[in-house]
């Protein structure tokens, strides 16, 4: 089955700097890669996703890149703000309705003002 590795486990950046979180996956059949942000005690919130027919996707300060050949994808947050502080999870799955997401172990991002 699918296995998702995520690095780093913790990341501290100064406000205004960029943050990059990287994930690798094992199943070449996976074709859907979402990123979730989870604040303490809250549900994971989808922040951006990418499908395997696209190499990069951007939404304001957030971007995701995908390298299918190498089986890795990354989350980029630019101009970080204190409210970006949270745990971020990457995930991978096949793009079908009954296929669950397999999550990475998460990255705790701290943005220092």
Partner 1 sequence: GAVVSQHPSRVICKSGTSVKIECRSLDFQATTMFWYRQFPKKSLMLMATSNEGSKATYEQGVEKDKFLINHASLTLSTLTVTSAHPEDSSFYICSARDPPQGPQYFGPGTRLTVL
Q: How many residues does the chain have?
A: 113
Nearer to partner 1, 11 or 102 (CB): 102
Residue (73 or 103) nearer to partner 1, CB: 103
Which bin fits 106, alpha (ψ -120 to 50), beta or left (φ > 0)?
left
Residue 14 or 97: which CB sits closer to partner 1? 97
- Encoded one letter per residue, x for contact with partner 1 by CB under 8 A and - for no contact, window 73-102 reads ----------------x-x---xxxx-xxx
Among 46, 56, 81, 112, binds partner 1 (CB under 8 A): 46
User: Which DSSP symbol is given to 68?
Assistant: T
Residue 27, interface with partner 1 (CB under 8 A)?
A: no
User: In the structure encoding, which two tokens stand for residue 60, read together?
Assistant: 């304001």
CB of 100 to partner 1, least distance (A): 5
Task: Output the six-digit token pair for 67.
Answer: 């390298």
* CB-CB neighbours of 10 under 10 Å: 10
- Contact (CB, 8 A) for 80 and 62: no
Segment interacting with partner 1, rule: CB under 8 A, options 15-23, 36-44, 55-63, 70-78? 36-44
For residue 106, give the nearest of 47, 26, 23, 40 by alpha carbon: 23
User: Which residues of the shown chain bind partner 1 in the complex (CB under 8 A)?
Assistant: 34, 36, 41-46, 49, 89, 91, 95-98, 100-106
């Amino acid at each position: 089955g699918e296995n998702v590795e995520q690095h780093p486990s913790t990341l501290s950046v100064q406000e205004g700097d960029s943050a990059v979180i990287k994930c690798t996956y094992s199943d070449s059949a996976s074709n859907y890669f979402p990123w979730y942000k989870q604040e303490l005690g809250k549900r994971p919130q989808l922040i951006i996703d990418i499908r395997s027919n696209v190499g990069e996707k951007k939404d304001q300060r957030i971007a995701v890149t995908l390298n299918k050949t190498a089986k890795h994808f990354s989350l980029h947050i630019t101009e970080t703000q204190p409210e970006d502080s949270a745990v971020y999870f990457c995930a991978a799955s096949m793009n079908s309705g009954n296929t669950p997401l397999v999550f990475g172990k998460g990255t705790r991002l701290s943005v220092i003002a």
